[in-house]
Amino acid sequence: KQEVTQIPAALSVPEGENLVLNCSFTDSAIYNLQWFRQDPGKGLTSLLLIQSSQREQTSGRLNASLDKSSGRSTLYIAASQPGDSATYLCAVNRNSGYALNFGKGTSLLVTP
Amino acid sequence: GAVVSQHPSRVICKSGTSVKIECRSLDFQATTMFWYRQFPKKSLMLMATSNEGSKATYEQGVEKDKFLINHASLTLSTLTVTSAHPEDSSFYICSAGLAGVVRETQYFGPGTRLLVL
């Protein structure tokens, strides 16, 4: 059974800092991995999707890496802003057409 | 991009009543929709996989008679919480994938907050 773990559970940083969120998964046989953002009481916003054959994806100040063999992914946020404050969820997909396995998320607070 | 809506966004009901939540893909057809539940400060847990025109597949521990899922068309799936109890209070989120395409991602609805008194 796939287990997805995210570390840290919570993180508080001052504005402008670069930060890294970690995600690990127990079964390396994945189809893809996604990072989502969830604001309080809201749904999910997809940030980055990495296919199993890829090593990283970038979008603006966000960079996600994937090391499938070791079961790890990181989300790097550069020059953090207060608007980045949210919960960040990592999810893996074992195959196309299957549901996602989510981690518990990292709650990020960026202080002005 | 693909848009998924959910209705209602928030519902409060009395214990023992039934509540129906709709999940619609607005600009694409979805052969498969997924229903997730999220408890406070917890992750999303898959409840069931809904395929258009067939019975839903429920995850272990999810009561199919309590959480009725109907996927009658390629754009609509419904989740009915029957005889709701306070412990059913949660955030319910659906997701949908593109029909006829090797799906690389799922599109999530905005979620429905259910509070059972």
Interface membership of B89 toward A (CB under 8 Å)? no
- Confirm if A42 and A20 have CB atoms less than 8 A apart: no
Give residue B1's pLDDT band: very low, low, confident or very high (50, 70, 90).
low
Residue of B nearest to A105 (CA): B43
Q: Output the furthest CA–CA distance in chain A (Å, rounded).
A: 41
Mean pLDDT, chain A, whole residue set: 93
Show residues of chain B in contact with A91, CB under 8 Å.
44
What one-character DSSP code corresponds to residue A52? T
End-to-end CA distance of chain B: 37
Q: Provide the pLDDT for residue B102.
A: 46
Count A/B contacts: CB-CB distance under 8 Å.
Answer: 53
Determine which of A101, A102, A104, A106 to mutate to test the interface with B (most B C-beta atoms within 10 Å): A102
Mean pLDDT, chain B, whole residue set: 89
Is residue B99 over pLDDT 80?
A: no
Interface membership of B111 toward A (CB under 8 Å)? yes
Q: Provide the pLDDT for residue A33.
A: 93
Give residue A99's pLDDT band: very low, low, confident or very high (50, 70, 90).
confident
Interface membership of B56 toward A (CB under 8 Å)? no
Residue-wise burial string across A5-44, b where 16 or more C-beta atoms lie within 10 A, e elsewhere: ebeeeebebeeeeebebebbbeeeebbbbbbbbbeeebbb
Q: Provide the pLDDT for residue B54.
A: 83
Per the model's pLDDT, the better-predicted residue between B97 and A24 turns out to be A24
Q: What is the pLDDT of residues B42-86, one digit of tens each?
A: 889 999 998 888 889 999 999 999 999 998 888 999 999 999 999
Interface membership of B11 toward A (CB under 8 Å)? no
Q: Do A103 and B43 touch (CB under 8 A)?
A: yes
User: Residue B4's closest CA among B106, B99, B88?
Assistant: B106
Between CA B1 and CA A77 the distance in angstroms is 24
- Confirm if B5 and B74 have CB atoms less than 8 A apart: no
Q: Provide the pLDDT for residue A93.
A: 87
Q: Do A43 and B113 touch (CB under 8 A)?
A: no
Q: Give the mean pLDDT of A47-67.
A: 95
Show residues of chain B in contact with A51, CB under 8 Å.
104
End-to-end CA distance of chain A: 41
Residue-wise burial string across A48-69, b where 16 or more C-beta atoms lie within 10 A, e elsewhere: bbbeeeeeebeeeebbbbbebe
- Confirm if A23 and A73 have CB atoms less than 8 A apart: yes
The pair of structure tokens assigned to A56 is: 């990283």
